[in-house]
Amino acid sequence: MSKSITYEDIINQLGEDIFALIEEFEEMMMNDSEVDISEITEKMLKLFNGYGRKLIEKFFRDKDEEIKDSPERLKDGWKVERNGDKKELVTVFGKVELVRTYYYRETAGGKEYKYLADEAFCLAKYQRLEPLVEAGLLDRAADNSYRKSGKGAVGDVEISDTTVMNKVHELEEDMNDFIREKRSEEEKREVSTIYIEADEDHVSLQKGENEISRLVYIHEGYKEDSSGDSDSDSKLKNAYYIAGAYKESSELWLEVADYLHETYNLEKVEDIFIGGDGARWIKEGLEWIPESKFILDPYHLNKYVHKATGHAEKFRFHLWEILNAANKDKLSIIFSELLMEAEEESRKKEVRKARRYIYNNWEGIKNLTTNNKAIKPSAEGHVSHILADRLSSRPMGWSRTGMDRMSRLRAFRFNGGDRNGILELIRRNRREKRVEDTVKKVAGGSTYKSSLTSALGARKQNIPALKKGKRNALYHIMWGASR
């Protein structure tokens, strides 16, 4: 597009093209009683995307010229190194070609080079996708393969699966902080009972190894349907999901503790239940959440009941009677009988394994069967729906970073995060990165401060994550001592 073209020229040409399109549509309707509406929308989309690209290219070119003519540029020591350098950027309108000027200036450490127009539009050095496109890709990638996410994301522009993967890897670990910041504006909720459920998904890595993605979700029980029944298909009340490949389970439980203290008036809470399969990392939550009670997942309990009675099904009903009554005295008797019934050593081994599991999780069984406030954990189904559907149900190999970020992205989505939320995350992270880079530059002894750099430094105080720092829940857990 020629430099001499003005915005008025573009507007006038757009008006002519719109009128020509209207005439074409009217002729189509006159000649055919039925017209597929997609024929109309496709032509409109092509027209407006074309003008969107023209306008972006002109915005950029004009800004580049404005910087070149600016006395501030000369005052700050920037000199032209090269004219007419081109950069291809994928926008929601399609690919655009940005023409800009390359500058340099002398510093104490040598020459510094920069595209000042790129900086003005907040474009990173190697950035090839605008944030709206990135947000759309990530939103699609939460449900689809990287390859499928890149195809058709922007018209006829095909974005490689490697590019989509890199964008997933670039996501910050603290995605859920965005959701928590939104919820922190609400008053703390007052409830009598809180339920925490936990489970894990085993994900295949690229080198044939397995990695565990952990899922914890907090809720207030089940919503009842119109008939008054509450079952596994009912939605959870105010559910909040946390997921990722946490190296230390303490990091996960600190995040759970933070969420509880930010969301609930814990002085009003009477019971907190932690449900799961009895894994050590899940029971560790009992140490982090004071006065919480463990509930054993009935899915896993049933599995071990079947292990114990596989060779003697006549005992199965009696074993369930003992478990439902939480009668520990009779438990040892029935396991002795089951061992006597087992003729093969392999069967005896299964009985002993089941006995050990049941004894190790006895408190969880007792709470499940005798506490009327307890509900049956359903973590197995939630892991399948939230994690496995994307991570492990199809044959694929993940990197550790990719698996972790995808787990967190899935949790973010189930917490209500959408494309707009992802876009805000991308913008916020880039603002923070620019502030950090500015601070490093100033701390490194540079005397130069452009108007843009100054503005970013001033805005640092308005970025919540930088202002408050990373939260730590250690000081929170003391609340339990006063209950």
Residues 116 and 180 in one domain: no
Residues 92 and 51 in one domain: yes
Residues 209 and 65 in one domain: no
SS3 content of the chain, % helix, strand, coil (to 5): 55, 15, 30
Whether the per-residue pLDDT at 107 is higher than 70: the answer is yes
| Angstrom distance (rounded) from CA 366 to CA 334 | 17
Residues 230 and 328 in one domain: yes
Tell me whether residue 454 is in a domain: no
Of 57, 39, 38, 61, the residue nearest 49 (C-alpha)? 57
Residues 107 and 193 in one domain: no
Tell me whether residue 38 is in a domain: yes
What mean pLDDT comes out for the span 335-346? 94
Query: Pick from 128, 162, 193: which residue ends a domain?
Result: 128
137: number of Cβ within 10 Å? 24
Please state the domain count of the chain: 3
Give the pLDDT confidence score for residue 30 in this predicted structure: 86
254: number of Cβ within 10 Å? 19
Query: Pick from 393, 413, 433: which residue ends a domain?
Result: 413
| Angstrom distance (rounded) from CA 99 to CA 463 | 32
* Bridge pairing between strands 79-91 and 94-107: antiparallel
% of the chain at pLDDT higher than 90: 71
Residues 96 and 165 in one domain: no
Domain hosting residue 401, numbered range:
175-413
Residues 220 and 352 in one domain: yes
Residues 37 and 159 in one domain: no
Give the pLDDT confidence score for residue 461 in this predicted structure: 41
Tell me whether residue 22 is in a domain: yes
Residues 180 and 160 in one domain: no
Tell me whether residue 457 is in a domain: no
Query: Pick from 385, 413, 441: which residue ends a domain?
Result: 413
CB hemisphere CA count around 256 (13 angstroms): 34
What mean pLDDT comes out for the span 31-53? 90
Residues 77 and 180 in one domain: no
269-326, pLDDT tens digit by residue? 999 999 999 999 999 999 999 999 999 999 999 999 999 999 999 999 999 999 999 9
Residues 81 and 157 in one domain: no
**Backbone angles phi and psi of 292, in degrees to 5:** -80, 160
pLDDT confidence tier of residue 442, bands split at 50, 70 and 90 = low
pLDDT confidence tier of residue 436, bands split at 50, 70 and 90 = confident
122-164, pLDDT tens digit by residue? 998 889 999 999 999 999 999 999 999 999 789 889 899 999 9
Whether the per-residue pLDDT at 482 is higher than 80: the answer is no
Tell me whether residue 285 is in a domain: yes
Sign of CA dihedral 374, 292, 211, 399: positive
Residues 179 and 196 in one domain: yes
Tell me whether residue 435 is in a domain: no
Tell me whether residue 190 is in a domain: yes
Least confident of 34-38, 95-99, 124-128, 134-138: 34-38
Residue type for position 275: G
Tell me whether residue 482 is in a domain: no
